[in-house]
Structure 1
Amino acid sequence: MTDPVEHGPGRTAAAFQEVYGAVPAGVWAAPGRINLIGEHTDYNDGFVMPLALPHTTLAAAAPRADGVLRLHSGAVPGSVVELRVAELDPAAVGRAGGDRGGWAAYPAGVVWALKDAGLAVGGLDLHLDSTVPTGAGLSSSAALEVATAAALNELYGLGLDSRSIARLCQRAENAFVGVPCGIMDQTASACCTAGHALFLDTRDLRMRQVPFDPAAEGLRLLVIDTRVRHELGDGAYAQRRASCEAGARALGVRALRDVPYAHLNSVVAELADDPVTLRRVRHVVTEIRRVEEVVECLDAGAVRAIGPLLTAGHASCRDDFEISCPELDLAVEAATAAGALGARMTGGGFGGSAIALVAEAAVERVSTAVDRAFAAAGYRPPRLFPALPSEGARRLL
């Protein structure tokens, strides 16, 4: 993966010119994200708290007058994928990259979602570069979608605000790519601001930028990429969502967000005959409460106090929602044993990354402990890097 400092609009514009023989009309960026807390709560109308990473997808683009969509990725060897905007259809998505989850389905899906919403979108030449690790639970797909949408929004004068871009990109991933994701990833990529975590109510997209500067408190937020690649389209994500919807129906609520944390004991009694649904519901209800508690800590300036909440969130993801894996569990265990204030998996699960809140003086010790634990277990070496709360989607060139 390219380091963020080596990844710039000039290089992406030059790559566009090499592929298409012309200068792009502009270059747009959209970041990957980590989720500080609030896992699998977004499609339950709950609260989440992501922050944008400095790792971005860059989209160099130019409009076309002939209704042709040409797509090229610097990360995928091969020729340009060529489609017609008028013919884009979820049923024919296999043409956009070879299978339903192929990379080109994501930008093609964004074009389709904009067109399907009645927006005047024409053809496009698009070249994509990215430093967001794929399959690491850092929302590389959302970054790709939002970068594409940001380019189209400006090139075709669509007048969309960042919330609208997020919703249309979610629709692209749901209906075109076939992943039933919630709204968090796209909103984080479109709306985050530097130096903040985004406190987002996924029911109505009300949001508040909460100052989050671990370095000012002598802390670092480390990302531990286990290098176990996950695929959210494999059915496990959809199964979790279906379980949550079943739980909401059983409890007579619109979404699990409407189950008060104070009523959790009665929920346990009501779902006692369905232990799987009970576990899924319990995770969502307690995780929503953990988001609120993290916000309370940050508002009070008590950054260190969020550590135990992160670790509790991991235990809930592991035991109640059952979306962890041995590598993620080991990352959390090794980090906390070496002195991390808290750690948890982040993202959709089944692989990907963990995060650890670590005192600056303990970063080397924690990093070494995680590396050694992975080596002792016979796992691939993890990749560790600091998470710096960064800017959302924007034009660079």
Structure 2
Amino acid sequence: MTTIADAFAAAYGRAPEGVWSAPGRVNLIGEHTDYNNGFVLPFAIDYRTQAAIARREDREIHLRSTFADGEVVASLDALDPATMDGWSAYVLGVAWAAADAGVSMEGAFGLDILIDSRVPVGAGLSSSAALECAAGVAFNDLWGWDLDKLAIARLGRVAENTAVGAPTGLLDQAASMLGKEDHVVFLDCLTEEARPVPLHLREEGLGILVMNSNVEHEHATGGYGDRFRSCERGAKELGVESLREVDRDGLERALEVLDAETLRRVRHVVTENERVLATVDTLEEHGPRALGPLLDASQESMRDDFEITVREIDLACEAAVAGGAIGARMTGGGFGGSSIALVPLDKADAIADAVRAALAQAGLREPTIFPVVPSEGARRDS
């Protein structure tokens, strides 16, 4: 089996100095709350992006990947997000974000980089954050930035917002950096305080299935940006800095102030924040088998109030629950991508079969269904 170190040697004619990696993520609950300064509850998954790297004697980054032809070359002295595009923007954008934040690049040397990713692209599992965070931990080690994990996550978010142009919050990068085996990451996106919360999946005989609809989405354009702007509009019309400040009582006032569509968007964010907090309490007091109603309510809110699901997602969730799943919901930004189902391990195959059968009967495209395991965050592998 060819390793990324072998592939690097074939590409650059020498061995890499090291290999760094970062995982994709699944969001257990808390969708579109991050950029509203709310609460999220993601976890890192056992699908990772690797970066094999060796230093150069100049100040150029030479960037290649196993999934695209050609080489991207950029100078550390001329990094400009306006000129970055494609997948390389996720890597170069992190270096630019660090310099823009005041991290010294004076002693930085050039790098040869080869990227290999096992995180499914377009599935809503944040292959982008995995790429940013793998680059971030590598740069941090090689260039001696001495940044903590959350600081690296912030650089990844800035790269995605500015170099890529996707208006995302900190959820994806925080999960990729802070992941812990059999835990979710409870993140307060206002204070940026984070702590691991045990999932107890193994001892309860439970697992999580990802049900990829194979309907691809693109965050930098379309509906995601529309929802972002709708939330901004709702906050402004309610006279608050962010929707984090709106509670159930605030929704009563929103009935009088907001148009019907903006009201639905705001209601999703407010109730989703409540569901995240309730999920943390439920995990700590009752365990994962009690999460079903919260997961299902989140799915309904994304479907009806935020309107970010597609028929393939809705039917997969319905079929999974009917087939014996504890709960199911869309995960990620929406407009395609994936849903997740919390399932008893002894029923996982039957539930997956039921979902495939339901979509086939409806004449919809076949989903790709696979298990994910809550795993460790970004690290140096070798």
- Shorter-chain TM-score tier: over 0.9
Amino acid at match of 2:46: P
Q: Secondary structure in 1 aligned to 2:77?
A: helix
Corresponding position of 1:3: none
Corresponding position of 1:338? 323
Matching residue of 1:360: 345
What is residue 13 of structure 2 aligned with on the other side? 21
Aligned counterparts, 1:26-45, within 5 A: 26-45=18-37
**CA distance in 1: counterparts of 2:200 and 2:54, whole angstroms:** 37
Amino acid at match of 1:56: R
1:168-196: CA deviation from partner (whole Å, max 9, x where unpaired):
11001111111111010001101111110
* Equivalent residue number for residue 207 of structure 2: 220
Q: CA deviation at 1:28?
A: 0.5
Does 1:193 find its partner at 2:167?
no
Q: Deviations over 1:330-349 (max 9, x none)?
A: 11111112121110000000
Q: Kindly state the Cα deviation for residue 125 of structure 1 after the two structures are TM-superposed.
A: 1.0
1:84 correspondence with 2:71: no
Q: Show CA shifts across 1:19-64 (max 9, x none).
A: 1111111101100000000000000000000000000000111222
Structure 1 CA distance for aligned equivalents of residues 110 and 303 of structure 2: 45
TM-score by length of 2: 0.96
Q: Decide which of 274, 279, 283 is 2:264's aligned counterpart.
A: 279
| Structure 1 Cα separation of the partners of residues 266 and 178 of structure 2 | 28
Deviation per residue, 1:302-349 (Å, 9 max, x gap): 311111111110111111111111111111111112121110000000
User: Secondary structure at 2:291's aligned position in 1?
Assistant: helix
- Pairs aligned (count): 379
**Is 1:135 paired with 2:119?**
no
What's the Cα RMSD here?
Answer: 1.4
2:373 corresponds to 1:382 = no
Alignment deviations for residues 123-181 of structure 1 (CA, whole Å, 9 cap, x no partner): 22110111100010000000000000110100011101001000011001111111111
Match of 2:313 among 319, 328, 352: 328
CA contact (8 A) 1:56 1:143 kept: yes
Q: Is the 8 A contact 2:199 2:287 kept in 1?
A: no
What SS does the corresponding residue of 1:335 show, helix, strand or coil? Answer: helix
How much has 1:379 moved relative to structure 2? 3.0
Partner of 1:151: 138
Aligned to 1:306: 291
Does residue 396 in structure 1 map to residue 381 in structure 2?
yes
Q: Is residue 140–residue 147 contact of structure 2 (8 Å, CA) maintained in 1?
A: yes
Q: Which amino acid aligns with 1:247?
A: G
Is 1:62 paired with 2:57? no
Structure 1 range deviating more: 350-359 or 120-129 = 120-129
Unpaired runs of 5+ in structure 1?
A: 1-5, 94-99
Q: Secondary structure of 2:333's match?
A: coil
Residue identity matched to 1:79: G
How many angstroms does 1:363 deviate by? 1.5
Give how far 1:262 is off.
4.2
How far apart, CA to CA, are the structure 1 residues paired with 2:257 and 2:130?
40
SS at match of 1:227: coil
Contact 1:70 1:83 in 2 (8 A): yes
Distance 2:223 2:250 in 1: 28
Cα distance in 1 between the residues matched to 2:315 and 2:32: 21
CA distance in 1, matches of 2:345, 2:51: 35
Asked whether the equivalents of residues 62 and 155 of structure 1 are also in contact (C-alpha less than 8 Å), the reply is no
Aligned to 2:87: 103
Q: Which runs of 5+ in 2 are unaligned?
A: none
Map Cα deviations across residues 351-383 of structure 1 (whole Å, 9 max, x no partner).
111001112232222111111122223333212
Q: Does 2:214 match 1:209?
A: no
Within 2, Cα distance between the matches of 1:75 and 1:49? 30
Q: For 2:190 and 2:196, how far apart are their aligned partners in 1?
A: 17
Whole-Å separation in 1 of the counterparts to 2:216 and 2:76:
31
Take 1:25 and 1:65, find their aligned partners in 2: how far apart are those partners? 14
Identity fraction in percent: 52
SS at match of 1:179: coil
Instruction: Provide the residue aligned with 1:293 in structure 2.
Output: 278
Give yes or no for the alignment of 1:238 onto 2:225: yes
Q: Could you tell me whether the CA contact under 8 Å between 2:31 and 2:331 is conserved in 1?
A: yes
1:86 aligned counterpart, secondary structure = coil
Secondary structure in 2 aligned to 1:233? Answer: coil
Q: Distance in 1 between matches of 2:13 and 2:335?
A: 41
> How far apart are 1:268 and its partner, in Å?
2.5
- Normalised to the residue count of structure 1, the TM-score between the two structures is 0.93
Contact preservation (8 Å) 1:261, 1:289:
no
